[in-house]
Structure 1
């Protein structure tokens, strides 16, 4: 989210070069407001569709679950907090 927001703001500021300060502030405000309105609409659609998490969070969770099935803990020592994990290989990979 931060990287996308930074890129958006940078693209706005590139368009405002050689403009008076008031115009730069107004353009920046307009573009940021547009961004938040669009994102707000996306969130409303997700909430109405009863999604609990954003698309990125859902994809990250699904990727983690798919990787979870390919690892198995063989040994675990609680006193030294050491463990050995075996990665299972699927014939299709």
Structure 2
């Protein structure tokens, strides 16, 4: 009888947030399963514009989060396959 292995983490949703959670969980050594009712990025993520906008933020928590997101996307884009779209603006 085959041995069954359960993942350490189950991520619900294969959009950008679910994919990011899965990526960082796997990178930390956890086994991950991602489930979604449709295709990867087939919901809100696929319909979104996909811009990281920092220029409209005033100083404070929102700007801090936008700057952190920009840095994380830059780092992540270097680790992803070349066909992954990331185009820094401005």
Do Structure 1 and Structure 2 share a fold, with TM-score over 0.5?
A: no
> TM-score, normalized by length of structure 1?
0.26
Structure with bigger RCO (C-alpha 8 Å, 6+ apart): 2
Higher Cα radius of gyration: 1
> TM-score, normalized by length of structure 2?
0.27
Higher share in helix: 1
